[in-house]
Amino acid sequence: MGKTISERLVEWLVTQGVERVYGIAGDSLNPVLQAISHEPRLRWIHVRHEETAAFAASADAQMSGCLAVCCGSCGPGNLHLINGLYDASRSSAPVFALASHISTINIGTDFFQETHPTHIYAECTRYCELLTCAEHADQILGAALRCALDAPGVGMVVLPGDTAAADALHDTPIPSISLQRASLIPSEQEVAQLARLVNRSSRVTFLCGAGCAGAKGELITLARLIRAPIAYTLRAKDIMEADNPFAIGMSGLIGWGDASRAMHEAELLVLWGTDFPYRSYLPTHGHVVQVDRRAEALGRRVPICLGIHADVASTARMLLPLVQRDRGDEFLSRSLSRHGKELSRLQTHIRHVDEHAPIRPEFLTRLVSDLAEPDAVFTVDTGTPVIWAARYVQALTHRRIIGSFKHGSMACSLAMAIGAKSAYPSRQVIALCGDGGLSMLPGDLLTLLQESLAVKILVYNNSALDLVALEQQLTGSRQYGTSLRHTDYAALARSIGLAASRIEFPAELSGAVRAWLAARGPALLDVVVDTSALTLPPDPSHISSLSFAESLSPNIDPHAELEAVRRTCCRA
């Protein structure tokens, strides 16, 4: 008996090393599920929402660097994938997505549950094509997988149910597609020009992004030679922060440390592997160099005097022997000194804890960070949990910190934790969830139990969409629509069989966090945090404008608004 197209699809996935598929069974997807059930090398992870499946695949791919897979049934089922697939695409995560479809005979007839995924997903996929016959099944499947691995990004196949159940035409061996990416080496002329710029500048600052993965050693060596402070983006925190004597924190509205000031005071700012989008936090004097393997990123945010289309590591290695080494360290020392004072200021709510006052999220986050395992994986919800993670989670050498840092979607933390724990079951995975984010996809707490995933969920429970409230304050608008009904998430979790506890006072916190992290299976810790805990933005005297505030209200004075928030924070 011959194979079906679904079985051929499964062969393709297994040949590429795929071990897990995230999704929900249903109607037109059933032939694929049948094929997966007969393949012992594939594990079907049944989530409760397709958005979770896509976010889980995104995190799985980001963690492992290998191809991850998610799927949705026809119509509403695959539409739910869109948020997570946008995240995977913008995070350059190699993800293959399968959107099953109505029967081919009904396509174009306004049939029940009919949508057009090839149109809907065009913007967030590297490849998206409808597969309607056996003759071109291998061509379509191979192209989607190659695009997902090559970019990397999202490759999607839209597969009608009748086509999925049809006989496959081919039974030839399937080639394995390598994820190895060719190195991009800069020209000697470009590196020499960069060296001239560096050598004639007495104040050089680095801003490092996610493109610095694998180049940390070279960049620290280079910074040591030219006495350059190193700022980094949120996506590079777990790359550049640990064991880095030149680290000065990160810029942006959620930034901290001396990053913003050092970038604006520099004669030369070098952007290494970053397409940092917030132009308001970047200097506009034009003495900016950008090194990136993505040519489209060069000069996209601010004017640059040199753009180098190359890998960070290869560029830094070629630059090392060309830089002058007899430099003073006044600029670096001043930046590190200011950074130390900023760090001390950030420790206020960690050093001084009133056991009768509400729990400060800063103290909670640092406590969890201190007690977590050295190679723990933190997944982070968009909102104030991102701010606390950026400032108080210690990015030790083997830790990972992932979230929807480019797409900025709520409700990503629990879903990404499912993918991270599925990919690395022996590692501790901690989901830092806002109460607003967790309330969007709470059904996937059941996935943790069903799939035996020992994820630890921390809920920052302040009964508010706190970051949205801050945005409203910054833009001078009336605060509205940010309050949430007060909810006992521990009681909710216990009602479905999850180990959970609720903490309201600082004196209870240390023991509760230890017990929560030590729990054998999945566990939830619901912590009622101080609702007046506001974030402290970087010093507005070094920021030309506030990007998102300006976009919301062109008449806003960002300096005045930031100063008002600073005063409010200091009073808090």
Cis omega (within 30 of 0) for bond into 152:
yes
Per-residue pLDDT in tens (0 to 9) along the chain, 572 residues: 589 999 999 999 999 999 999 999 988 999 999 999 999 999 999 999 999 999 999 999 999 999 999 999 999 999 999 999 999 999 999 999 999 999 999 999 999 999 999 999 999 999 999 999 999 999 999 999 999 998 899 999 999 999 999 999 878 889 888 767 778 999 999 999 999 999 999 999 999 999 999 999 999 999 999 999 999 999 999 999 999 999 999 988 788 999 999 999 999 999 999 999 998 889 887 799 999 999 999 999 999 999 999 999 999 999 999 999 888 999 999 999 999 999 988 888 787 777 777 899 999 999 999 999 999 999 999 988 999 999 999 999 999 999 999 999 999 999 999 999 999 999 999 999 999 999 999 999 999 999 999 999 999 998 766 666 666 666 666 667 667 778 999 999 999 999 999 999 999 999 999 999 999 999 999 999 987 776 655 544 444 333 333 333 333 343 443 444 344 333 33
Axis crossing angle, helix 384-392 with helix 361-371, rounded to the nearest 10: 50
**36-40: long-range contacts, CB 8 A cutoff, minimum separation 24:** 36/10, 38/7, 38/10, 39/10, 39/14
**284-288: long-range contacts, CB 8 A cutoff, minimum separation 24:** 284/544, 287/197, 287/201
Indicate if the alpha-carbon torsion angle 467, 468, 469, 470 is positive or negative: positive
What is the CATH T-level fold of the domain 188-342, as seen in this structure?
Rossmann fold (3.40.50)
Distance CA 44, CA 386 (A): 30
Tokens encoding 441: 């996809």
CATH 3.40.50.620 fits 5-165, yes or no: no
Tokens encoding 295: 């040519």
Distance CA 431, CA 438 (A): 10
Q: In terms of residues, how long is the chain? A: 572
Superfamily of domain 347-528 in the CATH hierarchy: Thiamin diphosphate (ThDP)-binding fold, Pyr/PP domains (3.40.50.970)
Largest CA distance in the chain: 77
Domain ranges of the chain: 5-165, 188-342, 347-528
DSSP 322-387: GS------HHHHHHHHHHHHHHHHHTHHHHS--TTSPBPHHHHHHHHHHHS-TT-EEEE-SSHHHH
Closest CA to 229 of 245, 218, 252: 245
Judge if pTM exceeds 0.75.
yes
Per CATH, 5-165 and 347-528 having the same topology is answered: yes
